[in-house]
Amino acid sequence: MKEKSIYKGYWALAAISFFWGTTWFVSKLTVKFIPPLQMTGMRQVFAGSLLILFFLLKGRKLPTPRQLLFHLTVGFLLITCSNGLTTWAIQYIPSFLGALIACLMPFVLIIASSVLFNEKVKPVIYMALIIGFTGVTILLSSFAEEMHGSDFLFGVLLSLISIGTWTGGTLISIRNKLNMDTFQGIGWQMLLGGIVLFIASLLTGQHVPLHTIPASAWLEFLYLSLIGSIFCFTCYLYALKTLPISLVSIYVYINPIVALLLGVFILNEKITPQIIIGIFVTFCGIYLVKRFSK
């Protein structure tokens, strides 16, 4: 039975490594027809509602007011801010660049834990951070021409801010003392964070009438909701339960590569030797962080 679970865990890891990478590419296609904040809000409300309905039908209880406040806080940071901003960002930058910048979250998490909670950091981690940020510098320098335009810089800024909000939501999640079901909690965080996103789309004018959205965009929306949100999150949690976390973390390297290949071959996104070198150096930094940190 244990071997069967591990076998399924490998399939779950393969799924998130590939399908989460495709969500960057599919999001890039979808925001051509649905403004990013509206699309992300719709996606998360739909996916969160399905998860909540599933658990209610299984007899799970509704969260307490205190638990709802927790889910609203985490949902705002992880879904509204982080997911919303990264989707907004790829309107202006290549989808693989958004995926790679998102990989820097472990770096920021370590820095935040050290500053806020006085957690000790090994010297090799500081070296890894320097290597990782050097890789990103090489990568961004390859877009020198694009940086003359404010839209590209705005997209990079949105991606960087999203790392900060994801780090905040992660720190709150891993340090919470409430006794809650993880799967059910994700549903509430998606729903509440998605509602805030939808309100933000109305306030910022990032909104189009639903009847103007073409059928192709609705199919992409369903893919992001059912595959990108529900299926991949379920696979991720299953992989964490059955495989070593060090092994599960390899999806971080595969997601940007999937996004890169799809973006280059289908969307004709820019690719140069300097970009490849920047990605490689960044991956070296990420590997060292994951190898020598808790």
Residues 257-273, mean pLDDT to the nearest whole number = 84
> How many other CB atoms sit within 10 Å of the CB of residue 231?
18
The pLDDT-based confidence of 282 (bands split at 50, 70, 90) is confident
Rounded percentage of the chain residues whose pLDDT exceeds 70: 95
User: C-alpha 230: how far from its chain's center?
Assistant: 13
Q: Is residue 56's pLDDT more than 70?
A: yes
pLDDT at 1: 55
Rounded to the nearest 5°, which phi and psi values hold at 214?
-70, 160
Considering the chain, what is the average pLDDT of its residues? Answer: 85
Q: Is residue 6's pLDDT more than 70?
A: yes
CA-closest candidate to residue 138, choices 265, 256, 272, 264? 272
The pLDDT-based confidence of 2 (bands split at 50, 70, 90) is low
Rounded percentage of the chain residues whose pLDDT exceeds 90: 33
Higher-pLDDT residue of 183 and 28 is: 28
Per-residue pLDDT tens for 147-167?
A: 676 788 899 899 999 988 988
Count CA atoms within 13 Å of residue 45 on its CB side.
Answer: 12
Distance CA(67)–CA(69), nearest Å, equals: 5
pLDDT at 178: 66
Q: Terminus-to-terminus CA distance in the chain, angstroms? A: 29
> How many other CB atoms sit within 10 Å of the CB of residue 3?
7
Q: Which residues lie below 8 Å from residue 237, measured CB to CB, with a gap of 6+?
A: 182, 183
Per-residue pLDDT tens for 98-149?
A: 888 888 877 777 777 777 777 777 788 788 888 888 888 888 788 777 767 6
**Structure tokens of 276?**
């490849």
pLDDT at 43: 93
Provide the residue count of the chain: 294
Q: Is residue 176's pLDDT more than 80?
A: no
Higher-pLDDT residue of 277 and 129 is: 277
Between helices 232-242 and 2-30, what is the axis angle to 10°? 150
The pLDDT-based confidence of 286 (bands split at 50, 70, 90) is confident
pLDDT at 177: 66
- Tally of structural domains, the chain: 1
Residues 84-111, mean pLDDT to the nearest whole number = 86
CA-closest candidate to residue 175, choices 102, 73, 245? 73
Per-residue pLDDT tens for 195-235?
A: 999 999 999 988 999 999 999 999 999 999 999 888 988 88
pLDDT at 27: 93
Amino acid residing at 79: I
Structural domain boundaries, residue 168: 2-292
Distance CA(23)–CA(44), nearest Å, equals: 13
Per-residue pLDDT tens for 13-25?
A: 899 989 998 999 8
Per-residue pLDDT tens for 62-71?
A: 888 888 999 9
